[in-house]
Structure 1
Amino acid sequence: MDLKNIHIIYFIGIGGIGMSSLARYFNARGIEIHGYDRISTSLTEELASEGICIHFKEDTTAIPENVNLVIYTPAIPEDHKELLYLKSKNIPVKKRSEILGLLTKDKFTVAVAGTHGKTTISSIITHILNHSGVKTNSFIGGFMKNYNSNFIGYNDAEIFIVEADEFDRSFLTLHPDIAVISSIDTDHLDIYGSRENLKKSFETFATQIKDAGELIINNKLTGYFKNDLTIITYVADGIADYFAEGIQVVNNMFEYNIHTPDGIIRNIHFRIPGRHNIENALAGVAVSVELGIEYDEIKAGLETYMGVTRRFDIRYSNNNTIYIDDYAHHPIEISSCINAVKEMYPEKKITGVFQPHLYSRTRDLADEFARSLDQLDEVILLDIYPAREKPLKGINSDMLLKKIRIPKKMLCSKDDLLPELEKRDIQVLLTLGAGDIDQLAEPIKNLLKQKER
């Protein structure tokens, strides 16, 4: 398919974080963009302000007649009225991942894969390169605070940076020059059926790296991939091609040195909390060095990197109360987030509000979720956010609550959360989840401000 002859594109699910970055890419190139999403959000309002036409009810009459291309997200059900209508027409209908594959086919591409860390690593690479004067087209799964956007791009960009999503095997449409794989932990069993099948999918992704390309992996994944690939490793604690040394926390910032195959980047000050984010930074550094970025530019990029919204996002902080919002929706991500809080605020009580994401994930990882949430001092569980799924018998937040062993635990509805928090003594508050819990972040911030008065 030749994208050069496309003039009008219709997006089904345009308000998603990945879909909207793709819509912004095409919109910036003067292509007329229309789209549907289920609800109006601040993101869809931003898209509308950029000249994109969006409606919020399934309505085939709202679709322009002369659409050249339809792009949809796999989160949209196959029986969606507009999707069925457009598939009946003589119009190309493609998943977002297929379009990313077409866009990057003949471009130098860095693809970041892994069950955790994709957005942070992709945004770190994006910032280091752009801060160094290397232009990119970057499609990010969150809002980069340095750029206040999930997309940064230029018509003359030298490099494409994309997140290689394992959900729905989407990343198998990509053939990158450099691939990063941060982790392969059990997830998406509704798609893969077993961890072994998930692992095989990552192995297949690695074989799709272009000739003379490179695979950059977390050192714990050594042995997963064939030796005929050029493999570069990184690790925070230990020895690899890229590793951190002398890690310490000073004024709530990490200070450390990074060892590379050819030298040392010294005295880095990195403001993003969490040991897991040191590893994410190392992955970004490895890509940057392989692309020829100078050490002083890499250091400057890391030290000016501000992070991504909803990734250890400190929404409110004063002497008595800290509020952090995080996208964590997998047990390992939750544990990493809690450990980061404990490292920063070792003497403070941690109250966590968790909204489980997907019935299938809650079912498959219930014991692991309980163990990770047991690291909190207090836990409040919201109802499961279903996303694309229908309810599963016996799978609910009460089932998960019963597995949690700490005594201070409760179920709560979204509507009752603010009154519940109002009567609590909050020291550190964590909101966790990939559903719509982010809609509560601003009201919670305002509540905590009022309580401090």
Structure 2
Amino acid sequence: MDLHKVNRIYFIGIGGIGMSALARYFKHLNKIVSGYDRTQTELTDQLQAEGISIHFEDDVELADKNADFVIYTPAIPKDHKEYNFYLSNNYPLFKRSKMLGLLTENKFTIAVAGSHGKTTVSSMIAWILKHSGTDCSAFLGGISVNFNSNFVAGDNDIVVVEADEFDRSFLQLSPDITVITAVDSDHLEIYGTQQELEKTFTVFANNLKSGGTLVAKPSLSILKNVRAKVWKYALSDASADLFATSYFITINGSDVKLNNGISYHLTYPGIHNIENSVAAVSVCMQLTIPHEKITAALEEFKGIHRRFEIMFRNNKTIFIDDYAHHPEEIRMFLSSVKKIYPERKVTAIFQPHLFTRTRDLKEGFAESLDIADEVILLPIYPARELPIENVTTKIIYDLVKNTNKQLLTKEELVQLIQREDFEVLCTIGAGDIDKLVKPIAEILRSKN
């Protein structure tokens, strides 16, 4: 794509984490960027502060009719007025994933995919490269604390991309290095079955450019059908090419030693983040980054907003916020919390994300939440979905074995936090539970 001929780009769904990274990319190129989103958020406020015009009504009169092309999210409804205006008037329309594929097709692309951990791994890779003096650009699925953004600008041909499996988006990419962290059941409203999900991940793995490398865990069943060179990483599986021979976890982070002699301290908590760091190190080894530079970068890695983010801490109470929205992510998160704070009572506040995911994975959600000492469940955040009959948070509630459990509205939750004391309080979910995080932190601060 010849971007020299492009001046104006319009986004439908500009507030999404992936869409906003693209918007920032084009703004970085000094293009005129504008867009629509249905909800004003902290992220849309940041985009507006960066000079991007955004409106929050589906109104053709507010849309940019001089746009050279339009980028849209697959989550928009079919009756969206602005989308249908651009479609009926033959504007060039691109899904976010298609545009990302076009922008990276002639670059050295590192794509990170998987059911969990891809935002952390891709952010770690980008940080290690930048910190070590290897320039890159990056499109991330979360806000990196180190970069304070989900887009990283770079001037050379290396690009790090978080590859999203939703809507088979990642099939638009042809990477030089692919990381697949996990292939667990999710997005079954798209794929139908776990078998179809695995089949699609296999296709993605085989999309590698000639001579490319797949970085993956030895346990992935799809590996038997991958044609490319495979580099295996793991937390502690000694059959892998790279794994941790030892690790020690405290409230101040983790001390990690790998089988190739690399040792480092991670200030970013969580057992799963040790495994994520092994994946990132694996990629940087393929790029021949010196070990001492990898170590120095990891020790300054500060994490991702809403990934094991400590929002408040004193001698009495710890408040942690996390984006986990899949049973395995919740299991890893709560297991890490319990390991770090073994003597404290852990209260998990969970907002399920999507009716279909709640329906399909309800048993897993209940099992993972049972790791906590107390469970509080909020109503389902629907996102792009319409309600499904008999699918409410109660189907998870009924399966939670812990008798110390409650179903609450957001208003009731705030009242509870004002009234009660907590030892370790965790907010968990990918919906609008994030809007409660700052108010909860303020309540805890005022009580202490």
> Which bin holds the TM-score, normalised by the shorter protein?
over 0.9
Residue 286 (structure 1) aligns with: 282
Pair 1:318-2:314 in alignment: yes
Residue 382 (structure 1) aligns with: 378
Aligned pair in 2 of structure 1 residues 222, 294: CA closer, same or farther (>3 Å)? farther
Match of 2:219, SS state, is helix
Match of 2:280, SS state, is helix
- Give the aligned residue type for 1:396: T
Residue 242 (structure 1) aligns with: 242
Residue 418 (structure 2) aligns with: 422
Is contact 2:348–2:428 with CA below 8 Å preserved after alignment? yes
For 1:222 and 1:300, how far apart are their aligned partners in 2? 34
Residue 10 (structure 2) aligns with: 10
Pair 1:360-2:356 in alignment: yes
Residue 204 (structure 1) aligns with: 203
Residue 68 of structure 1 deviates from its aligned partner by 0.6
For 2:82 and 2:90, how far apart are their aligned partners in 1? 14
Match of 2:262, SS state, is strand
Residue 219 (structure 2) aligns with: 220
Match of 1:445, SS state, is helix
Match of 1:216, SS state, is strand
User: Residues 214-245 of structure 1, C-alpha deviation per residue, up to 9 Å, x if partnerless?
Assistant: 00001211663436310000011121111111
For 2:117 and 2:64, how far apart are their aligned partners in 1? 38
Pair 1:162-2:158 in alignment: no
Which aligned pairs between 1:109-148 and structure 2 lie closer than 5 A?
A: 109-148=109-148
User: Residues 10-56 of structure 1, C-alpha deviation per residue, up to 9 Å, x if partnerless?
Assistant: 00010111110100000000111010011211111111111111111
Q: Which runs of 5+ in 2 are unaligned?
A: none
Aligned pair in 2 of structure 1 residues 371, 53: CA closer, same or farther (>3 Å)? same
For 1:418 and 1:145, how far apart are their aligned partners in 2? 27
Is contact 2:250–2:340 with CA below 8 Å preserved after alignment? no
For 2:138 and 2:204, how far apart are their aligned partners in 1? 20
Match of 2:116, SS state, is coil
Is contact 1:252–1:344 with CA below 8 Å preserved after alignment? no
User: Residues 311-343 of structure 1, C-alpha deviation per residue, up to 9 Å, x if partnerless?
Assistant: 001111111100000000000000100001011
For 2:415 and 2:222, how far apart are their aligned partners in 1? 51
Is contact 1:134–1:158 with CA below 8 Å preserved after alignment? no
Which aligned pairs between 1:49-198 and structure 2 lie closer than 5 A?
A: 49-154=49-154, 156-198=155-197
User: Residues 371-426 of structure 1, C-alpha deviation per residue, up to 9 Å, x if partnerless?
Assistant: 11111111111100000100000000122211111111111111221111122220
- Which residue among 432, 439, 443 is the counterpart of 1:443? 439
- Give the aligned residue type for 2:435: Q
- Give the aligned residue type for 1:189: L
Match of 1:165, SS state, is coil
- Give the aligned residue type for 1:376: A
For 1:227 and 1:187, how far apart are their aligned partners in 2? 21
Is contact 1:203–1:225 with CA below 8 Å preserved after alignment? no
Give the CA RMSD over aligned residues.
Answer: 1.1
Pair 1:337-2:336 in alignment: no
For 1:419 and 1:131, how far apart are their aligned partners in 2? 44
Residue 293 (structure 2) aligns with: 297
Pair 1:347-2:346 in alignment: no
Fraction of identical pairs, as percent? 49
Moved more, 381-390 or 223-232: 223-232
For 2:347 and 2:245, how far apart are their aligned partners in 1? 32
Residue 400 (structure 2) aligns with: 404
For 2:172 and 2:256, how far apart are their aligned partners in 1? 37
Is contact 2:205–2:226 with CA below 8 Å preserved after alignment? no
Residue 36 (structure 1) aligns with: 36
For 2:293 and 2:224, how far apart are their aligned partners in 1? 31
Q: Which runs of 5+ in 1 are unaligned?
A: none
For 2:249 and 2:118, how far apart are their aligned partners in 1? 24
- Give the aligned residue type for 1:325: D
- Give the aligned residue type for 1:270: L
- Give the aligned residue type for 1:276: H
Aligned pair in 2 of structure 1 residues 398, 185: CA closer, same or farther (>3 Å)? same
For 2:228 and 2:64, how far apart are their aligned partners in 1? 46
Aligned pair in 2 of structure 1 residues 450, 151: CA closer, same or farther (>3 Å)? same
Is contact 2:307–2:322 with CA below 8 Å preserved after alignment? yes
For 1:302 and 1:354, how far apart are their aligned partners in 2? 30
User: Residues 126-180 of structure 1, C-alpha deviation per residue, up to 9 Å, x if partnerless?
Assistant: 11000011111111111111111111112x2331111111000000000000000
For 2:313 and 2:276, how far apart are their aligned partners in 1? 25
- Give the aligned residue type for 1:166: E
- Give the aligned residue type for 1:433: G
User: Residues 261-291 of structure 1, C-alpha deviation per residue, up to 9 Å, x if partnerless?
Assistant: xx4213x111122211111000100011111
- Which residue among 261, 265, 275 is the counterpart of 2:262? 265
Is contact 2:111–2:177 with CA below 8 Å preserved after alignment? yes
- Give the aligned residue type for 1:74: P
Q: How many residues align?
A: 447
Moved more, 228-237 or 171-180: 228-237
Residue 251 of structure 1 deviates from its aligned partner by 5.2
For 1:227 and 1:33, how far apart are their aligned partners in 2? 40
For 1:100 and 1:251, how far apart are their aligned partners in 2? 38
For 2:160 and 2:397, how far apart are their aligned partners in 1? 39
